[in-house]
């Protein structure tokens, strides 16, 4: 099946791409050798894996949670992508064992959920609004597709098709079927993946059904409450009943085609928008696409941190008012940044516009990557942009959505670098390695060599199996003010060939052709729209795709007293010994002195400043040394 019938671009699978990159390869290896085993151990030790044995009895501790299945599913997905890129017989076998357990938990009718099989079987499908039944099903479907594509094994895919068939028999518009939509979106995008893997249109229809159930009046979540006991309805009420019956927490405030403003829980929102984009592409639904574009634009122009973090409020783990982007209290869940990457990739494939890739890259290198420690075994759930030293990565979480989410993102990184179309190839991300692509039917091997993100020099080797005409599109990042492009040593003016943020080189490519792209990568001072009150009078430092921050470890002074004059020179220095090897930014800042205050609290003289050499490190790498303050937004003069 075509993966993007109506989109301009088609995705490239993990298996087509080899990453051999000084920045990413060690991370992917850490993911394979540390993160994925660590997360398996956590799932195992917390009972998540053995829960599929269905041996739980009342009184046993721990009690399986209704979202446990999804953690194991995301681990399977991560491990499968890893396997696709790197053979590992032990992991292969471990996956088979876990999948066998899951298969064994499937009920005769196809149903598959630990909690609602052993703990509260009488509550199956009773509270789609708050219990993550369909969400877990979705993650297991994604896992099944990933495992199938990585290994060719159909075991989990078949199990999940049976489960999907059963779900499709329960939910739908036909007589004897019931209404309903998942409170936590996920199954919508997963059903499209299942459809693409199997060609079974029933899954596409079911995904569309769930998407269209959202935002009806009365809300499916309100109708559902009628069956619930007072106790079971408690959480629903907590979220929904504050203002009348407001289900915006799970994007149920309006029919999806009428939505413009991202609201509610940010991860749910991102997963929904992914599903909407998928359905729009598969069905040619322009109205739905327009909604996706509006939602995208609103997220990126009013509700996104400079790190690509979204969902600023801890209260609803989600969106609040436009421009409400507090730094220290930022929620910016790792999963939400990952969800934004998923959404970005989908929109990129629809519109072939680099503005999506810009945000995809921003979230990847900053708000998502910060979610995992350099050693691959500690995780942020929330990713604030300022800290007083009391926020640290953890081994695991009771609600453990983020750790396997970042693991599956890193393991599948290969699929974000390139895209294909009938006539063109696209390079979105600059990461060393090579890929086996196809342009207009001709196999083309593309190789990249770069020290990105630390350096803006990229060499691309284009090797069609035989000379062939096609367009090669290289993204000129939004952060780049000056790009120099050379084909086989001859400079080409990018202006006339720029298409939606890509320099398109259309020619008859010969094996051995090389393209050199130089992206000027000076240190930049980022300012925020003045409606973001917290950032007024402050700048963030960025260089290339990387957002920087100050940490006490490098700047042992009160960070709110550090000031960066507008004309201060800033220098980027690669420090191989620092934080696994990073570019750090050094500059002549100022420090507000308190030496001459002598017991005064107020005075008429201005605060005195003294020179202070400041050092900024990449935001993703913060919280790896002695705990202290952290600030992305630096006072500016």
Which residues are annotated as catalytic? Answer: 317, 401
> What does the alpha-carbon distance between residue 316 and residue 312 come to, in Å, rounded to a whole number?
9
Residue 532 interacting with a second copy (CB under 8 A): yes
Q: Which of 1, 399, 520, 536 binds a second copy (CB under 8 A)?
A: 536
> What does the alpha-carbon distance between residue 131 and residue 452 come to, in Å, rounded to a whole number?
43
Strand 609-618 with 582-592, pairing: antiparallel
Q: Which of 533, 556, 573, 613 binds a second copy (CB under 8 A)?
A: 533
Task: Count how many residues are written for the chain.
Answer: 637
Tokens for 488, please give them. Answer: 């086989």
Residue 59 interacting with a second copy (CB under 8 A): no
Q: How far is the CB of 565 from a second copy (least distance, A)?
A: 12
> What does the alpha-carbon distance between residue 488 and residue 337 come to, in Å, rounded to a whole number?
38
Q: Which of 446, 449, 452, 451 is nearest to 427 (CA)?
A: 446
Q: How far is the CB of 366 from a second copy (least distance, A)?
A: 12
Q: How far is the CB of 214 from a second copy (least distance, A)?
A: 27
Query: What is each CA distance from 364 to 99, 120, 297, 427, 578, in whole angstroms?
Result: 29, 39, 18, 16, 21
Residue 328 interacting with a second copy (CB under 8 A): no
Q: Which of 375, 469, 491, 593 binds a second copy (CB under 8 A)?
A: 593
Cβ proximity to a second copy: between 238 and 531 the closer is 531
> What does the alpha-carbon distance between residue 227 and residue 126 come to, in Å, rounded to a whole number?
7
Cβ proximity to a second copy: between 85 and 480 the closer is 480
Secondary structure element (H or E) that encloses residue 187, with its range: helix 187-198
Tokens for 370, please give them. Answer: 């910060």
435 and 67 Cβ atoms separated by less than 8 Å? no
Q: Which of 268, 260, 318, 319 is nearest to 292 (CA)?
A: 260
- Binding-site string for a second copy from residue 408 to residue 447, where x marks contact by CB under 8 A and - marks none: ----------------------------------------
Residue 260 interacting with a second copy (CB under 8 A): no
Residue 306 interacting with a second copy (CB under 8 A): yes
Facing residues of 463 across strands?
445
Q: How far is the CB of 526 from a second copy (least distance, A)?
A: 5
Q: How far is the CB of 539 from a second copy (least distance, A)?
A: 8
Query: What is each CA distance from 424 to 284, 470, 471, 479, 516, in whole angstroms?
Result: 21, 5, 4, 24, 18
Residue 600 interacting with a second copy (CB under 8 A): yes
481 and 428 Cβ atoms separated by less than 8 Å? no
Q: Which of 399, 520, 573, 637 binds a second copy (CB under 8 A)?
A: 637
Residue 527 interacting with a second copy (CB under 8 A): yes
Exposed, middle or buried by CB within 10 Å (0-12, 13-18, 19+), for 124? Answer: middle
Of residues 551 through 580, those in contact with a second copy by CB under 8 A are 558, 560-561, 563, 566
464 and 442 Cβ atoms separated by less than 8 Å? yes
Residue 508 interacting with a second copy (CB under 8 A): no
Quick count: other Cβ atoms within 10 Å of Cβ 113?
A: 26
Residue 490 interacting with a second copy (CB under 8 A): no
Q: Which of 24, 136, 143, 133 is nearest to 75 (CA)?
A: 143
Inter-axis angle of helices 201-213 and 187-198, nearest 10: 160
Residue 374 interacting with a second copy (CB under 8 A): no
Of residues 261 through 300, those in contact with a second copy by CB under 8 A are 297, 300
> What does the alpha-carbon distance between residue 493 and residue 504 come to, in Å, rounded to a whole number?
11
Q: How far is the CB of 320 from a second copy (least distance, A)?
A: 15
Cβ proximity to a second copy: between 498 and 592 the closer is 592
Of the candidate spans 55-63, 263-271, 504-512, 523-531, the one that interacts with a second copy by CB under 8 A turns out to be 523-531
Secondary structure element (H or E) that encloses residue 77, with its range: helix 68-85
Rounded CA Rg of the chain: 25
Q: Which of 525, 568, 624, 627 binds a second copy (CB under 8 A)?
A: 525
Residue 327 interacting with a second copy (CB under 8 A): no
Cβ proximity to a second copy: between 298 and 450 the closer is 298
Q: How far is the CB of 601 from a second copy (least distance, A)?
A: 5
Tokens for 60, please give them. Answer: 């046993």
Quick count: other Cβ atoms within 10 Å of Cβ 323?
A: 17
Residue 537 interacting with a second copy (CB under 8 A): yes
Residue 495 interacting with a second copy (CB under 8 A): no
Q: How far is the CB of 133 from a second copy (least distance, A)?
A: 36
Residue 329 interacting with a second copy (CB under 8 A): no
Of the candidate spans 15-23, 83-91, 572-580, 601-609, the one that interacts with a second copy by CB under 8 A turns out to be 601-609
Calculate ∠ Cα 68-74-76, nearest 5°. 105
Residue 529 interacting with a second copy (CB under 8 A): yes
Of the candidate spans 55-63, 513-521, 586-594, 613-621, the one that interacts with a second copy by CB under 8 A turns out to be 586-594
Give the interface with a second copy as residue ranges (CB under 8 A): 297, 300-302, 304, 306, 481, 524-533, 536-537, 540, 558, 560-561, 563, 566, 592-594, 597, 599-607, 635, 637
């Amino acid at each position: 099946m075509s993966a993007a019938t109506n989109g301009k671009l088609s995705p490239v699978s993990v298996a087509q791409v080899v990453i051999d990159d000084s920045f990413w390869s060690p991370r992917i290896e850490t993911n394979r050798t540390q993160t994925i085993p660590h997360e398996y151990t956590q799932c195992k030790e917390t009972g998540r894996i053995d829960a599929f044995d269905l041996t739980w009895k009342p009184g046993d501790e721990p009690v399986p949670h209704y979202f446990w299945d999804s953690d194991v599913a995301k681990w399977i997905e991560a491990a499968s992508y890893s396997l696709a890129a790197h053979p590992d017989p032990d992991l292969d076998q471990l996956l088979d064992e876990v999948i066998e357990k899951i298969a064994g938990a499937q009920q005769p009718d196809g149903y598959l959920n630990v909690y609602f099989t052993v703990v509260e079987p009488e509550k199956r499908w009773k509270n789609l609004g708050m219990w993550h039944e369909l969400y877990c099903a979705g993650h297991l479907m994604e896992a099944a597709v990933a495992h199938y594509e990585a290994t060719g094994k159909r075991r989990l895919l078949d199990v999940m098709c049976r489960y999907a068939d059963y779900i499709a028999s329960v939910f739908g518009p036909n007589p004897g079927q019931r209404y309903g939509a998942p409170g936590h979106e996920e199954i919508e995008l997963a059903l499209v993946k299942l459809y693409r893997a199997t060609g079974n249109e029933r899954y596409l229809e079911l995904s569309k059904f769930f998407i269209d159930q959202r935002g009806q009046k009365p809300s499916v979540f309100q109708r559902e409450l009628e069956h619930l006991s007072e106790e079971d309805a408690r959480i629903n009420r907590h979220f929904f009943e504050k203002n009348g019956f407001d289900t915006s927490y799970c994007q149920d405030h309006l029919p999806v085609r009428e939505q413009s403003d991202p609201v509610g829980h940010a991860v749910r929102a991102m997963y929904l928008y992914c599903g909407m984009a998928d359905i729009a592409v598969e069905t040619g639904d322009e109205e739905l696409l327009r909604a996706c574009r509006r939602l995208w634009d609103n997220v990126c122009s009013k509700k996104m941190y400079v790190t690509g973090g979204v969902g600023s409020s801890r209260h609803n783990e989600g969106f609040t008012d436009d421009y409400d982007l507090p730094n220290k209290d930022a929620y910016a869940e790792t999963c939400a940044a990952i969800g934004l990457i998923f959404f970005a990739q989908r929109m990129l494939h629809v519109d072939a516009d680099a503005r999506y890739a810009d945000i995809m890259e921003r979230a990847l290198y900053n708000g998502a990557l910060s979610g995992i420690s350099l050693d691959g075994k500690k995780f942020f759930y929330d990713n604030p942009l300022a800290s007083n030293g009391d926020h640290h990565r953890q081994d695991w979480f009771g609600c453990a959505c983020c750790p396997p989410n970042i693991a599956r993102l890193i393991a599948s990184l290969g699929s974000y670098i390139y895209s294909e179309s009938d006539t063109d190839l696209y390079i979105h991300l600059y990461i060393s390695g090579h890929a086996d692509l196809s342009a207009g039917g001709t196999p083309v091997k593309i190789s990249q060599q770069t020290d990105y993100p630390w350096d803006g020099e990229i060499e691309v080797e284009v090797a069609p199996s035989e000379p062939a005409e096609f367009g090669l599109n290289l993204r000129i990042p939004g952060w780049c003010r000056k790009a120099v492009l050379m084909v086989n040593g001859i400079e080409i003016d990018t202006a006339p060939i720029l298409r939606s943020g890509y320099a398109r080189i259309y020619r008859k490519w010969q094996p051995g052709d090389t393209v050199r792209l130089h992206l000027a990568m000076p240190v930049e001072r980022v300012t925020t729209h003045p409606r973001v009150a917290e950032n007024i009078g402050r700048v963030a430092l960025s260089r290339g795709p990387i957002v920087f921050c100050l940490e006490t470890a490098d700047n042992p002074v009160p960070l709110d007293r550090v000031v960066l004059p507008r004309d201060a020179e800033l220098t980027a220095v690669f420090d191989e010994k620092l934080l696994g090897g990073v570019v750090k930014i050094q500059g002549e800042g100022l420090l507000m002195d308190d030496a001459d205050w002598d017991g005064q609290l107020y005075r008429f003289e201005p605060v005195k400043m003294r020179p202070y050499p400041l050092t900024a490190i990449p935001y993703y790498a913060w919280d790896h040394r002695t705990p202290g303050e952290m600030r992305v937004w630096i006072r500016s003069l």
